[in-house]
């Protein structure tokens, strides 16, 4: 008599596990996109970072404005010495942004001239793939 209940519990547990895995997969894929994008920034390839960014990002500022902005923000810190994941949070809504799929990722980053900082990078689902929609360094 208890079998149907156990099967239902197993199905519900599997469904919850699959949902958690889907969110985990989104976070992992977004992190991979963020790491590729950060590698472009770290190497000074600001134009390519703009080219590969989300449409939302590109609509917010021109390629030239992005290059000037990121250069002035990052140059004083020097080269990246280390970067460790602090957090990655999946969200469908963010303040000031259209509803969609986002992962807000924070890294504890150490630079040559600034040993302790936090980089926040926000990939979003754009055209079927994860692309960076925002970047902030503190």
Report DSSP state, residue 77: G
Pair of tokens at residue 23: 């969110």
CATH number of the domain to which 92 belongs:
3.10.450.100
The tens place of each residue's pLDDT in the chain, 138 residues long, gives 443 333 323 222 233 333 344 455 889 999 999 999 999 999 999 999 999 999 999 999 999 999 999 999 999 999 999 999 999 999 999 998 999 999 999 999 999 999 999 999 999 999 999 999 999 999
- What count of Cα atoms within 13 Å lies in the side-chain half-sphere of residue 72? 6
Distance separating alpha carbons of residues 106 and 15, to the nearest angstrom: 29
Tally of domains in the chain: 1
- Residues of the domain holding 107: 3-137
pTM above 0.85, yes or no: no
């Amino acid at each position: 008599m208890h079998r149907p209940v156990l099967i239902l519990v197993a199905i519900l547990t599997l469904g919850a596990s699959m949902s958690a895995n889907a969110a985990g997969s989104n976070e992992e894929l977004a992190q991979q996109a963020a790491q590729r994008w950060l590698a472009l920034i770290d190497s000074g390839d600001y134009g390519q970072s703009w080219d590969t960014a989300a449409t939302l990002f590109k609509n917010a500022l021109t390629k030239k404005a992005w290059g000037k902005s990121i250069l002035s923000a990052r140059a004083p810190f020097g080269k990246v010495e280390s970067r460790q994941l602090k957090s990655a949070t999946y969200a469908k809504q963010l303040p000031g942004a259209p509803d969609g799929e986002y992962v807000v990722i924070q890294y504890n980053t150490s630079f040559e001239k600034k040993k302790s900082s936090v980089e926040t990078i926000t990939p979003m689902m754009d055209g079927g793939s994860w692309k960076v929609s925002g970047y902030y360094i503190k």
